[in-house]
Amino acid sequence: MTELQANDQAPDDIYKRADQSLYTSKKNGRDTITVDGVPQQLEDDSKQESYAYFVRGIYDTVVGTDARRRANELTLRRYDRKQQVWMVPHQDHLNIDTRIELMRDALVNSRCQSIVMALSVANFLDQAAADKLVAFFNSPNGPEVMYIELDRVPVIDLLIPMAEFYRKNGIKIVLTQIGSNRHFEAINASLQYIDGIKLSIQEAGQTLAPELLRKNIKFWGDIAKNWNVEFILDGVIDDSMLTWLHEQDYIDYLEGDYLSKPELPLLMS
């Protein structure tokens, strides 16, 4: 690269400098540009990973158009620069500071200021991470309501102090993937330390038969009622299922791709 200079006597002077710059760039290798004889290495951002939290709405069970989005469930996405699409990352290795920054970005672009984020058991039990999440929640630009989702229960002796810490500071805890009745004994001792349970309509990618689903809803719904915790049902895929679920008791909130698919928050969510 070059441009017309004050001491140029003819157009050929510009062309000669451009040829020399091209030669210098080739000599210095790939991703090099040369400006008036000075080589510069381009920063290759194709390997830099960009992440964002997509949001998916969680709704109350009011029938009709009055159903209100109560919270946004955050789902992590990675941008594939080669394919130019957002993808579900194969593994989740982001530290808590990065997650908090992504949560701030999601909140800035969302109408709903209540969020639900998934944490691994290791992160949940990390006191340093817990301190940062509480500080974020209580900051001026933190969420109005915050839930932490766990897909399995920590050992009860470890769960109790951390659950008490989070809940004392206003953050709620939801246990997901509670599955069928056979999992009840595994989580029974933990129910007094959490704020909600989430039941999936699907198992192994298949929607449960209505009769089995009705039994599961009643079983876990009774438990939620007895322990005074919220009961969420995940996996609404069409209008007929939504209509059927509105006829069932116990359910506090619904979510699923039929109601809201994960999307970048753009002040519409």
Q: What is the mean pLDDT of the chain?
A: 85
pLDDT for 222 equals 93
pLDDT in tens, 69-97: 999 999 999 998 888 899 988 777 789 99
Q: At residue 62, what are phi and psi to the nearest 5 degrees?
A: -65, 135
More confident residue, 177 or 80: 80
Whole-angstrom distance, CA of residue 32 vs CA of residue 21: 10
27-65 pLDDT per residue, tens: 666 557 777 777 765 544 444 568 999 999 999 987 554
Beta strands in the chain (DSSP E): 32-35, 38-41, 50-60, 69-80, 85-87, 114-118, 145-150, 172-175, 196-200, 202-203, 206-207, 230-234, 253-255
Beta-bridge mates of residue 244: none
Average pLDDT value for residue range 193-217:
86
The percent of residues above 70 in pLDDT, for the chain, comes to: 81
Mean per-residue pLDDT for 129-134?
97
pTM of the predicted model, to two decimals? 0.77
pLDDT, residue 127, reads: 97
Residues 227-263 have pLDDT tens digits of 999 999 999 999 999 999 988 999 999 999 999 999 9
Least confident range from 40-49, 135-144, 179-188: namely 40-49
Q: Is the pLDDT of residue 107 over 70?
A: yes
Q: Which residues contact 183 (CB under 8 A, 6 or more apart)?
A: none
User: What pLDDT does 150 receive?
Assistant: 94
Question: What pLDDT, on the 0 to 100 scale, is given for residue 45?
Answer: 41
Give ∠ CA 65-67-53 in degrees, rounded to 5.
115
